Amino acid sequence: MSRDDTTADEPESDDTALQSRGRDSADGPRADADPAVVAARSRDAEPDTAEIRELAAAAGYAVVGEVTQRRREDPTYGLGRGAAEDLMRLAAETDAAAVIYDGSLSPGQTFSLGDLLPTGTAVVDRPRLALELFGDAADSRTADLQLELARLRYELPRLRETAARDSSEDVRLRPEGDGRVRDVERRIESAERALDRLGDDREKRRAERRDAGFDLVALAGYANAGKSTLARRLADDADDPERVDDSDGTADPEDPDGADDPDGTSTAGGPGGSLSAGDRPFETLSTATRRATLGGRRAVVTDTVGFLDGLPHEAIRSFRATLDAVRRADCVLLVVDASEGPAAVRRKLRTSLSAIEATDGPVIPVLTKVDRVDPDDLDAAADACESVAGTLGGRDVPVAGSLRSPVPVSARNGAGLGDLIDAVADALPTATATVTVPNGGDAQAALSWAYDRGVVSDVDYAGETVAVELAGRPDIVAAAERRLAGGDDGGS
Ligand SMILES: Nc1nc2c(ncn2[C@@H]2O[C@H](COP(=O)(O)OP(=O)(O)O)[C@@H](O)[C@H]2O)c(=O)[nH]1
Ligand SMILES: [Mg+2]
């Protein structure tokens, strides 16, 4: 299906299950998985290749070897010459379909490494691997456009490099590459424009939801942190979530299950922790929204795309629905897997915060999967959280200033959920007021308006008047004061 086939009437699910290259195999690599060699370099310590191997496996590669190196960045190959040659030999021996580089390679480095490697061995750096992982099964217009934009932005500098190389060998004034470059530039502009329009629609829906008294809560965090599992836990009806709306207004209202595990291959029963063979780190490509009642407040909870280390800023910028949902939320739950140890907590929290940059509302770090964590380790994870908040705050990442204290939970067994809900209710901007309504014909209508949009803690009938104690979003409470007390709709 080409992107232009997507119409507003088309049934589509919200919580997109992405087709990754290897996902038809739930247990380990497919028999026909492409052999790949991992390459990693790190300046300060021996590189840890666990995550890149997991990503490679999730994308359908069988990792058959690795070359790691401890040294500074090399401008030619991204690795030192010796390591690059080791890589070349290993790729040849193993007949590797790809060399997977744990980091970003410049277009020039990609070409140089490609020239060195055997013909038929592709160079796949981390951003390209992530794009492969996203697959091509995005099934909402927004998801489709975002993915296309991320791919085009990745492709553009590489195409420019190709064009430059072509034109230096070829004396023609207008090498073919120029046309391709212009074409990609045009497609980027058009995708950006289309996403702008869809972003305006989402903004309008956010405003409507706020007017209706909903608080907007967004779940954000690193890939596989446990966001979607927690979103399902928080939903009013965890088994049959009522979808409020989808990311771009093209949901099928007849398909309430579409928001949740559309293809019945939920990983919720899986082992959790770091990526296991059945996990799909980019399962959630569209932003999925569900209703939830949090401490009496009616909320719309939005699940988002996971962040990943080593993605260039422009790739992250492509995921506009996620960034908008997070930045414009009344409260963000920043989900962190507490079971991976303090170093991973620090790294993934830092990556997530840097991607978010800034938010309108408070951010609550949620240390999840505590069912797999010893109390001591949980303390260490919480300390790691606080230390990131401290260091980033001083480094011009404004969102660090919005961080609250971390809340430990398990979305698996429900531990800590009550505390989390209290923390959210606490963090949401709240106003209270006692409004007095004439005890006449319109009093009941006014009361039900208040019940619909806020938390009514007391109703006192005192003869001529009714006194209503109301708490809720400040704008709702202000509207209530105008509406109920002023009788601005002409009621008596
Ligand atoms: N043990 C445990 N595993 C969890 C918990 N929450 C999520 N998981 C597992 O972690 C993996 C990733 O979860 P998911 O919600 O898809 O992560 P997302 O990528 O952030 O949306 C899945 O295998 C989940 O079953 C939890 O509280 N405890
Ligand atoms: Mg998810």
Domain boundaries, the chain: 34-134, 197-427, 431-486
Split at pLDDT 50, 70, 90, the class of 262 is very low
User: What is the CA 100 to chain-centroid distance, rounded?
Assistant: 23
Higher pLDDT, 420 or 17: 420
Is the CB of residue 1 below 6 angstroms from any atom belonging to ligand 1?
no
Q: If you average pLDDT over every residue of the chain, what do you get?
A: 80
Beta carbons of 374 and 232 less than 8 angstroms apart: no
Span from the CA of 270 to the centroid of ligand 1 (angstroms): 8
CATH of 34-134, one of 3.40.50.11060, 3.55.50.30, 3.40.50.1440, 3.40.50.11710: 3.40.50.11060
Please give the CATH superfamily to which domain 197-427 belongs. P-loop containing nucleotide triphosphate hydrolases (3.40.50.300)
In this structure, the residue with its CA closest to atom 26 of ligand 1 is 369
- Using CB atoms within 10 A of its CB, is residue 376 exposed (0-12), middle (13-18) or buried (19+)? exposed
Span from the CA of 274 to the centroid of ligand 1 (angstroms): 9
Q: Which of 127-136, 400-409, 477-486 has the highest mean pLDDT?
A: 400-409
Split at pLDDT 50, 70, 90, the class of 305 is confident
Residue 293 has pLDDT above 50, yes or no: yes
Split at pLDDT 50, 70, 90, the class of 441 is confident
Residue 126 has pLDDT above 70, yes or no: yes
| Phi and psi at residue 125, to the nearest 5° | -90, 180
Split at pLDDT 50, 70, 90, the class of 285 is low
CATH topology of 34-134 equal to that of 197-427? yes
Give pLDDT, residue 138: 67
Split at pLDDT 50, 70, 90, the class of 170 is low
Over residues 150-170, mean pLDDT: 82
DSSP letters for 36-55: EEEEEEESSS----HHHHHH
Residue 191 has pLDDT above 90, yes or no: yes
> Rounded to an integer, what distance in angstroms lies between the CA atom of residue 366 and that of residue 348?
12
Helix (H, G, I), strand (E, B) or coil at 395: coil
As residues whose CB is below 5 A from the ion ligand 2, the structure lists 227-228, 283-284
Residue 442 has pLDDT above 90, yes or no: no
For 318-360, the pLDDT digits (tens) are: 888 889 999 999 999 999 999 999 999 999 999 999 999 889 9
Residue 134 has pLDDT above 90, yes or no: no
Q: Which two tokens stand for residue 356?
A: 């978010």
Q: Which of 128-137, 187-196, 241-250, 458-467 has the highest mean pLDDT?
A: 187-196
Residue 229 has pLDDT above 50, yes or no: yes
For 408-436, the pLDDT digits (tens) are: 999 999 999 999 999 999 999 899 999 88
Higher pLDDT, 249 or 282: 282
Is the CB of residue 372 below 6 angstroms from any atom belonging to ligand 1?
yes
Residue to mutate, 18, 23, 224, 229, ligand 1, most ligand atoms under 8 Å from C-beta: 229
Is the CB of residue 228 below 6 angstroms from any atom belonging to ligand 1?
yes
